[in-house]
Amino acid sequence: MGKVLRARSGRRRGAPDTKGEILAAAREVFGERGYDGASVRAIAAAAGVDPALVHHYFGTKEKLFLVAMEIPFDPAVIADAIADDSGDAGVGERAMRTFLSVWGQPSGRAPMLALLRSALQHETAARLLRQFVTRALLGRVLVAFEGVPDGALRAEAMVSHMIGIAIIRYVVKLEPMASVSDEELVALVAPVLQRYYDGAFEQD
């Protein structure tokens, strides 16, 4: 049984260390309850602050999760790249280029690697990553798949493919995937991602 999170007495309006205490509380609440079960009100209670202060420092629960779990990218970046005005024919290439650009930043890669490794080894981390991918990442990508037959399945396949490549390329470091250039990878994978978006989907 998980421990019960108790609010500290009183509600503060803010202090030099308040932001850090909110982050510490968020990590604890997310870890205990998962992404779906955690609420801004519960996190504020655990930190002993008013919920408005959480919104003041971090905005939404999603943004708080990104900071607390040290995820150094906004899912909207990939979703916006897929749904931009360049046309449906370039969805696969835009998605892959944006995904690689996010992973190509050394300062941001380390925390994402830590999260993936944790998710492969610990159920709590896996649950958090699963819920985040479902709600924050897939939820945004699905907007670009509105009106596309079997859109939810296609969006999930596209995201799963890119995450799988990240694991092989950056976690397992399997050759030649680990050292192939971004351009070669885009040329290889983008057509597959494009097919997830607009290719024929046959069922028996």
Other CB atoms within 10 A of residue 50 CB: 16
Q: Is there a single domain that holds both residue 58 and residue 139? A: no
Q: Is there a single domain that holds both residue 164 and residue 64? A: no
In the chain, the percentage of residues whose pLDDT exceeds 70 is 79
For the entire predicted model, the pTM comes to 0.64
Cα–Cα dist 25/176, whole Å: 42
Instruction: Tell me how many domains the chain contains.
Output: 2
- The predicted model gives 84-103 an average pLDDT of 80
Determine the longest span between alpha carbons in the chain, in angstroms.
62
Cα–Cα dist 173/188, whole Å: 18
- The predicted model gives 106-134 an average pLDDT of 72
Other CB atoms within 10 A of residue 148 CB: 18
Which amino acid is residue 83, in one-letter code?
A
Full residue range of the structural domain in which residue 24 is found:
18-68
Q: Is 49 helix (H, G, I), strand (E, B) or coil?
A: strand
CATH of the domain at 140: 1.10.357.10
Q: Is there a single domain that holds both residue 173 and residue 81? A: yes
Q: Is there a single domain that holds both residue 83 and residue 183? A: yes
Here the tokens at position 195 are 């097919």
Q: Is there a single domain that holds both residue 180 and residue 145? A: yes
CA 163 vs CA 77, 138, 166: distances in Å: 15, 12, 5
Q: Is residue 8 part of a domain?
A: no
Here the tokens at position 143 are 């907007």
> Mind listing the pLDDT tens digit for each residue in 42-87?
999 999 999 999 999 999 888 888 788 776 666 667 777 776 666 6
> Mind listing the pLDDT tens digit for each residue in 133-179?
777 677 777 777 878 888 888 888 988 898 889 889 988 889 999 99
The pLDDT, as a whole number, for residue 86 is: 62
Q: Is residue 6 part of a domain?
A: no
